[in-house]
Amino acid sequence: MDLLNTLVDKGLRRELPTREEALAVLATSDEDLLDVVAAAGKVRRQWFGRRVKLNYLVNLKSGLCPEDCSYCSQRLGSKAEILKYTWLKPEDASKAAAAGVAGGAKRVCLVASGRGPTDRDVDRVSKTIEAIKEQNEGVEVCACLGLLSAGQADRLRDAGADAYNHNLNTSEGTYGEITTTHTYADRVDTVQQAQAAGLSACSGLIAGMGESDEDLVDVVFALRELDPDSVPVNFLIPFEGTPLAKEWNLTPQRALRILAMVRFVCPDVEVRLAGGREVHLRTLQPLALHLANSIFLGDYLTSEGQAGKADLEMIADAGFEVEGAGTTTLPEHRTDVAAAGCGSHASAGCGSHESSGCGSHGGGCGPCGASEEPSVPGEPSVPEARTDLVAVRRRGAGTDLAPNA
């Protein structure tokens, strides 16, 4: 296929595809899916070999958020029955982080719900970062605390943070339909503050919220321009008790096409397979490793993920290897820029929040409840709701039970 040959050539040269080419990837047929994965896989291997970076989430403060992000189980007015607790003590957060590091995680992502941190919150997180670094030599730490105020990124960097995560989530044109308590521009500003402080910037998207192909391309092109080191790709978990609970728009095939498009547009950055992979990719998760070079190990913020042991087995069975602590994630040309002080770190950033920042949400467990009515000829079929694959996190941080790592 000429399109795929062109995209591979551009990816190997780090050249930006056209919008039409990116849209064409999303429009490819299921019959061409393996060709699309193979082509994007060539670009992935050029810059990252067969390495898979493991990241581990620690939810420092769960629920009770004043923001109204429609996708989030921790949002204002959420009726989702998630864990709710205030700030973990530094020693408790460090203990949770150690479980992830023991499981093979190279990076720990510290997430807290809320609009943004107060100066006191930054002090609290700084002590947590110091505790984690003291007990886990060589571990990378990313913070995901919401919108930053002036000087806070510098303070986090001084405390030892390596990265900061704040996702754009969706296109600028549709952002107001998803969130009203802050703006798309607010998110861009926070990512730029992190970059200016010398933190590795991490910013990504959420797919499956009812957006168009054009919206997906818009947000990925905006991310390319913003140039974070890491781009987490989340797939919406339609969490019962949130406004988007009925948005089951993704198939495993579409999820793979979205990942391929992100890889072609952002060829040399860490593409993170983030929240919702178990729910939407299901048995096709191993194919996604040919597109993404990074995943979360174990559970997310408020939902349970695949067992950590199963994650490791999947990586090995698919012919990939876990990236070691002594290996630099990003290609040399990007780390050279970081060393020159251009606002990005040598390592890639952190995950994704409740399908918005660093992680993913959860939902109720139960029978799927799909309609038994046949689809109308000529109309696209609606994917069956797989609520049986969504489980609220009841272990790990904020509980007395051992974490999944």
**Catalytic (active-site) positions:** 65, 69, 72, 109, 142, 202, 272
371: number of Cβ within 10 Å? 9
Q: Taking Cα atoms as reference points, which of 297, 357, 256, 336 lies closest to residue 52?
A: 297
* Residue 142 and residue 232 in contact, taking contact as beta carbons nearer than 8 Å: no
CA distances from 237 to 131, 173, 282, 354, 385 (A): 32, 22, 13, 9, 10
Query: Which of 249, 276, 264, 257 shows the shortest CA–CA distance to 355?
Result: 276
Q: Does the annotation place 65 within a ligand binding site?
A: yes
Structure-token pair, residue 358: 């660093």
Rounded distance between C-alpha atoms, residue 98 and residue 129, angstroms:
12
Q: Is 93 exposed, middle or buried (0-12, 13-18, 19+ CB in 10 A)?
A: buried
Alpha carbons 312 and 321: distance in angstroms, whole number: 9
Q: Is 69 annotated as a binding residue?
A: yes
272 is in an annotated binding site: yes
Q: Rounded to whole angstroms, how far apart are CA atoms 398 and 400?
A: 7
Quick one: which H or E segment has residue 44?
helix 33-48
Tell me how many helices (H) and strands (E) the chain has: 14, 10
Sign of the C-alpha dihedral, residues 189, 195, 199, 204? positive
Whole-angstrom distance, CA of residue 60 vs CA of residue 64: 12
Based on C-alpha coordinates, what's the Rg of the chain?
Answer: 19
Question: Has 365 been labeled as part of a binding site?
Answer: no
Name every residue whose Cβ is closer than 8 Å to that of residue 375 and which is 6 or more positions away in sequence. Answer: 381, 382
Angle at alpha carbon of residue 357, lines to 354 and 211, rounded to 5°: 75
Annotated binding site for [4Fe-4S] cluster: 65, 69, 72
Annotated binding site for [2Fe-2S] cluster: 109, 142, 202, 272
Annotated binding site: 65, 69, 72, 109, 142, 202, 272
